[in-house]
């Protein structure tokens, strides 16, 4: 009884303590006004930390402003930066590098993540323990992962090189994962796959577990082979989940910064310089604020546009 | 009551004893000095105790690792922050800091206090204090002289079997290299050699991409081969100077040195990686700034009799990359007068002498021209020679953009094997031309 009466008593006390004038005015408020009272602060906060910076960035992208020259006269440069960025071979190279990373990491993570989810879904003995073990990399901070793998990749003392050497017989110090033009992109892809495949696995697992058992039972009655069941039931029914994982990882990897910055810093040369690293260099090393604002807007529009197209496709798949 | 009384007396005594310091704090008698976190900074902490003794002004220090030094303090200056009253800023910052009003101009103060720039080595005055260069406009007092030099494993060089093997291969004695060709021979000779059961490598050179490393490294060779930043007769005219055939040859040489003679994985190596490689007995030669040499000489494993020092070798010419910094008063400080007092104190001859003995590199002629200076430390003579042949990177307000452009172009060629040396320098000319064009120059 106490549990039921206590809130009532408390509410009564609040009502009694509320001055009648306030009580009258609150009673007079419409639902819409009360809703605004609740939502208002959140909207203000969003405007302050999301919308205003975005508008300010758009404004800066049309100016020659530089953060390291706050006293200099700010001039309107129109679409100059946009024109220069879109005609800059180095920017296109960075976009191409980004696209390679996104495509490779997503492809590998989807195959491995779905495969792992499919195995875990079989509920073999100890599957819960294995699920937890597989999820560990995802729980680590990217800074820790970056430093950890930097040590692993050391050509003279890193365990990674020794493991490869053990398997292939190649001398450990004869190849550099982070310093080699050929291998450094793969060094980053390996780390991203190691860290984020569990995330894809989780989403795929949710998809697999959402498929009712009776569908498989019906398929078995119809003597459908296991392969046929995967092709005709599992994949189509889990597809919205797989597509969701692609969307999340795609957006994340398009913006990939921390891992690349920690592992290679964009090097050697500019081989692993993804768009976010270029943006950081322009904004905080070269101090080209106007230019980097324009670049940030271009990246934003690219991600936003691609994500929108993708979400439409996702909705169509869900409606099937 | 007795313990209580004793405690009260102790507290009172402590309070009275600390009164001058507290009073100093109460009056804001504390200065914050910002610099990079490295060996000389520790020497400055030691040195500054004398300033506190003399003036009652406490010194607080903000030291930031080199990797974040520029980001951290340029952000501080750009945001008109009051964290630093005094700053020992990199030589390249002078142009931007002067034009953006971050530093207090020191001409009137120097004139009033009788501080003469003629009392400091000319290269350090131009490098650390003047903007525009070679004009009598001073924004800093030369504080920490520095340049790129080299260390070598004297103990390895002295081994008879190694000497014999070298002589057999190159038909000359294994000795400190005078030219870059000799240096490359020595580095190649040691590359992959087994010494005391351990594989060692030739040379540690600068290859870092992120901040300024590879530019600081490659410049040492480019200058010697004939690279010029601009046409001496026409400022900002770079075509044929930055990408001259001599500069192209210099860049090709640096790449060949990187490819033949550096330890595996040295594709992003700067000051601390060089120190690690040398201290761990991995390399025979190391390119690094003189600022680290006192610490290396004290190192129990590779210091003392085991280490030797030499100046940047020659090619067609002989120059070396200037490092080092000047000390400036931050324009946004609320304690400018006390900060100027520190500079006045720091400029004194006896303070400069002590600065050198503690491990800082004085730029004062009274210290450097003293007949005993070359023998005052094992690296002193080389430092003196180096300061006579230094060249510096652009100190323009856009130096950061200029630097990032060179970092990219040079690293792309030397480490990442993209294109030719000529293409890299041609692109650099295009980048720099655009940057100056944007600046209206």
Q: Give the 3-state secondary structure of A226-241.
A: HHHHHHHHHHHHHHHH
- The confidence score (pLDDT) of residue B3 equals 43
Q: What is the rounded distance in angstroms from the CA atom of residue B82 to the CA atom of residue B333? A: 5
What region, left, alpha or beta, does residue B101 occupy, with left being phi > 0 and alpha being psi -120 to 50 degrees?
left
The size of chain A, in residues, is: 320
pTM of the prediction? 0.86
Q: Can you tell me the mean pLDDT for B6-19? A: 43
Q: What is the rounded distance in angstroms from the CA atom of residue B213 to the CA atom of residue B164? A: 35
- Helix (H/G/I), strand (E/B), else coil: A188: helix
- Helix (H/G/I), strand (E/B), else coil: B407: helix
> What value does the CA radius of gyration of chain A take, rounded to a whole number of Å?
27
What DSSP state is assigned to residue B129? I
Nearest CA in chain B to A155: B265
Nearest-CA neighbor of A185 among A256, A252, A248, A266? A266
- The confidence score (pLDDT) of residue A20 equals 66
Supply the angle between the helices A127-139 and A184-209 in degrees, to the nearest 10. Answer: 140
Taking CB atoms and an 8 Å limit, are B209 and A284 in contact across chains? no
Query: Residue B26: how many CA atoms within 13 Å on its side-chain side?
Result: 6
Report how far apart, in Å, the C-alpha atoms of B404 and of each of A298, B68, B318, B320 are.
22, 15, 25, 20
- The confidence score (pLDDT) of residue A25 equals 66
- Tokens linked to A196: 């984020």
Partners of residue A156 in chain B, C-beta under 8 Å: 263-265
Taking CB atoms and an 8 Å limit, are A268 and B210 in contact across chains? no
Q: What is the rounded distance in angstroms from the CA atom of residue B226 to the CA atom of residue B250? A: 8
Is pLDDT above 60 for A216?
yes
Q: Does A280 touch chain B (CB under 8 A)?
A: no
- The confidence score (pLDDT) of residue A128 equals 87
Query: Who among B263, B266, B400 is closest to A287 (CB)?
Result: B400
The size of chain B, in residues, is: 441
Query: Who among A173, A181, A286 is closest to B401 (CB)?
Result: A286
- The confidence score (pLDDT) of residue A4 equals 47
- The confidence score (pLDDT) of residue A23 equals 62
Q: Sign of the CA dihedral B415, B421, B425, B426?
A: negative
Taking CB atoms and an 8 Å limit, are B418 and A270 in contact across chains? yes
Q: Measure the CA angle with vertex A89, ends A88 and A93; round to 5°.
A: 120
| A39 or A157, greater pLDDT | A39
Nearest-CA neighbor of B182 among B166, B204, B197? B166
Q: Chain A: give the shortest CA distance to residue B406, in Å.
A: 11
Is pLDDT above 60 for A276?
yes
- The confidence score (pLDDT) of residue A285 equals 86
- The confidence score (pLDDT) of residue B1 equals 40
Q: What is the pLDDT of residues A226-256, one digit of tens each?
A: 899 999 999 999 999 999 999 999 999 999 9
Kind of pairing between the strands at B320-321 and B194-195: unpaired
Partners of residue A154 in chain B, C-beta under 8 Å: 265
Pinpoint the alpha helices (H) of A71-183.
80-86, 89-120, 127-139, 142-152, 159-168
Look up the ipTM and state it. 0.81
- Helix (H/G/I), strand (E/B), else coil: B228: coil
What region, left, alpha or beta, does residue B265 occupy, with left being phi > 0 and alpha being psi -120 to 50 degrees?
left
Q: What is the rounded distance in angstroms from the CA atom of residue B401 to the CA atom of residue B388? A: 28
Taking CB atoms and an 8 Å limit, are A268 and B411 in contact across chains? yes
Nearest-CA neighbor of A292 among A308, A304, A281, A307? A281
Q: Which of residues 59-98 of A touch B (CB under 8 A)?
A: 64, 67-72, 90
Query: Is residue B396 exposed (0-12), middle (13-18) or buried (19+ Cβ within 10 Å)?
Result: buried
Taking CB atoms and an 8 Å limit, are A265 and B100 in contact across chains? no
- The confidence score (pLDDT) of residue A284 equals 87
Q: What is the rounded distance in angstroms from the CA atom of residue B166 to the CA atom of residue B186? A: 8
Query: Who among A70, A156, A174 is closest to B78 (CB)?
Result: A70
Nearest-CA neighbor of B212 among B252, B296, B158, B270? B270
Report how far apart, in Å, the C-alpha atoms of A196 and of each of A112, A254, B322, B392 are.
10, 14, 45, 46
Q: Can you tell me the mean pLDDT for B50-56? A: 96
Q: What is the pLDDT of residues A1-57, one digit of tens each?
A: 444 455 566 767 766 776 666 666 666 788 888 889 999 999 999 999 999 999 999
- Tokens linked to B401: 């953009």
- Helix (H/G/I), strand (E/B), else coil: B34: strand
- Helix (H/G/I), strand (E/B), else coil: B436: helix
- Terminal-residue alpha carbon distance, chain B: 80
Q: What is the pLDDT of residues B279-306, one digit of tens each?
A: 999 999 999 999 999 999 999 999 999 9
Q: Tell me if the bond preceding A268 is cis, omega within 30° of 0.
A: yes
Backbone dihedral angles phi then psi of residue B162, each to the nearest 5 degrees: -70, -40
Q: What is the pLDDT of residues B349-382, one digit of tens each?
A: 999 999 999 999 999 999 999 999 999 999 999 9
Q: What is the pLDDT of residues A49-108, one digit of tens each?
A: 999 999 999 999 999 999 888 778 899 999 999 999 999 999 999 999 999 999 999 999
What region, left, alpha or beta, does residue B281 occupy, with left being phi > 0 and alpha being psi -120 to 50 degrees?
left
- Tokens linked to B123: 């290269």
Q: Are A155 and A161 in contact (CB under 8 A)?
A: yes
- Which residue, chain included where needed, has tokens 């169509």? A316
Partners of residue A266 in chain B, C-beta under 8 Å: 209-210
Q: Does B101 touch chain A (CB under 8 A)?
A: yes
Q: What is the rounded distance in angstroms from the CA atom of residue B290 to the CA atom of residue B322? A: 10
- Model confidence at B167, pLDDT cuts 50, 70, 90, reads very high
Nearest-CA neighbor of B337 among B327, B329, B345? B329
Query: Is residue B238 exposed (0-12), middle (13-18) or buried (19+ Cβ within 10 Å)?
Result: buried
- Which residue, chain included where needed, has tokens 């990246």? A299
Q: Which of residues 211-230 of B touch A (CB under 8 A)?
A: 211
Q: What is the rounded distance in angstroms from the CA atom of residue B435 to the CA atom of residue A83? A: 16
- Helix (H/G/I), strand (E/B), else coil: B242: coil
């Amino acid at each position: 009884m106490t549990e039921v009466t206590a809130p009532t008593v408390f509410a009564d006390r609040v009502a009694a303590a509320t001055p009648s004038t306030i009580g009258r005015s609150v009673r007079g408020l419409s639902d819409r006004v009360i809703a605004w009272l609740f939502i208002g602060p959140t909207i203000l906060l969003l405007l302050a930390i999301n919308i205003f910076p975005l508008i300010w960035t758009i404004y800066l992208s049309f100016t020659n402003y530089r953060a390291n020259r706050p006293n200099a006269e700010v001039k309107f440069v129109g679409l100059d930066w946009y024109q220069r960025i879109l005609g800059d071979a180095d920017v296109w190279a960075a976009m191409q590098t980004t696209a390679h990373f996104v495509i490779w990491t997503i492809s590998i993570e989807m195959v491995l993540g779905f495969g792992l989810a499919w195995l875990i879904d079989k509920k073999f003995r100890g599957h819960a323990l294995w699920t937890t073990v597989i999820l560990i990399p995802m729980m680590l901070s990217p800074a820790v992962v970056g430093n950890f793998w930097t040590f692993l990749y050391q050509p003279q003392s890193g365990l990674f090189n020794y493991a490869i050497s053990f398997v292939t017989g190649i001398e450990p110090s004869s190849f550099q994962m982070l310093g080699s033009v050929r291998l450094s992109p793969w060094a980053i892809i390996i780390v991203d796959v190691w860290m984020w495949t569990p995330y894809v696995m989780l989403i795929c697992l949710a998809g697999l577990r959402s498929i009712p058992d009776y569908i498989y039972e019906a398929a078995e009655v119809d003597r459908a082979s296991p392969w046929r069941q995967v092709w005709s039931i599992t994949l189509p029914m889990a597809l919205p989940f797989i597509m969701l994982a692609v969307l999340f990882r795609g957006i994340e990897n398009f913006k990939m910064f921390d891992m690349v910055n920690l592992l290679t810093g964009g090097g050697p040369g500019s081989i692993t310089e993804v768009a976010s690293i270029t943006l950081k260099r322009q904004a905080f090393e070269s101090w080209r604020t106007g230019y980097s604002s324009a670049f940030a807007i271009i990246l934003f529009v690219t991600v936003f546009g691609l994500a929108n197209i993708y979400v439409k496709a996702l909705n169509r798949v869900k409606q099937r | 009551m007795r313990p209580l009384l004793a405690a009260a007396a102790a507290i009172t005594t402590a309070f009275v004893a600390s009164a001058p310091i507290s009073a100093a704090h109460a009056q804001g008698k504390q200065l914050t000095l910002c610099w990079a976190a490295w060996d000389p900074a520790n020497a400055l902490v030691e040195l500054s105790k004398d300033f506190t003794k003399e003036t009652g002004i406490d010194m607080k220090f903000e030291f930031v690792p080199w990797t974040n030094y520029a980001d951290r303090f340029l952000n501080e200056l750009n945001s008109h922050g009051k964290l630093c009253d005094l700053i020992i800023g990199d030589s390249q910052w002078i142009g931007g800091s002067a034009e953006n009003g971050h530093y207090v101009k020191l001409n009137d103060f120097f004139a009033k206090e009788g501080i003469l720039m003629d009392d400091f080595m000319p290269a350090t005055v131009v490098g650390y204090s003047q903007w525009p260069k070679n004009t009598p406009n001073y924004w800093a007092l030369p504080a920490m002289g520095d340049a790129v030099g080299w260390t070598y494993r004297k103990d390895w060089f002295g081994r008879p079997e190694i000497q014999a093997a070298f002589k057999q291969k190159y038909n000359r004695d294994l000795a400190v290299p005078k030219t870059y060709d000799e240096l490359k021979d020595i580095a190649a000779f040691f590359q992959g050699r087994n010494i005391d059961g351990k594989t060692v490598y030739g040379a540690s050179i600068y290859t870092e991409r992120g901040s300024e490393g590879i530019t600081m490294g490659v410049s040492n060779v480019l200058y010697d081969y004939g690279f010029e930043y601009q046409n001496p007769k026409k400022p900002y005219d770079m075509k044929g100077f930055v990408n001259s055939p001599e500069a192209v040859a210099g860049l090709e040489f640096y790449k060949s040195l990187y490819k033949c003679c550096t330890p595996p994985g040295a594709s992003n190596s700067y000051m601390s990686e060089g120190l690690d490689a040398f201290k761990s007995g991995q390399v025979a030669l190391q390119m690094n700034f003189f600022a680290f040499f006192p610490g290396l000489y004290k190192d129990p494993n590779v210091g003392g009799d085991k280490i030797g020092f030499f100046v940047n070798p020659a090619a067609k010419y002989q120059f070396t990359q200037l490092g080092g910094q000047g000390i400036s008063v931050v324009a946004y400080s609320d304690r400018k007068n006390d900060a100027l007092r520190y500079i006045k104190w720091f400029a004194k001859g006896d303070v400069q002498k002590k600065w050198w003995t503690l491990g800082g590199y004085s730029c004062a002629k009274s210290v450097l021209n003293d007949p005993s200076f070359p023998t005052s430390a094992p690296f002193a003579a080389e430092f003196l020679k180096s300061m006579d042949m230094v060249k510096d990177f652009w100190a323009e307000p856009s130096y950061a953009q200029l630097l990032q452009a060179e970092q990219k172009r040079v690293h792309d060629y030397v480490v990442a094997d993209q294109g030719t040396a000529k293409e890299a320098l041609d692109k650099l000319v295009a980048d720099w031309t655009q940057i100056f064009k944007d600046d209206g120059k």
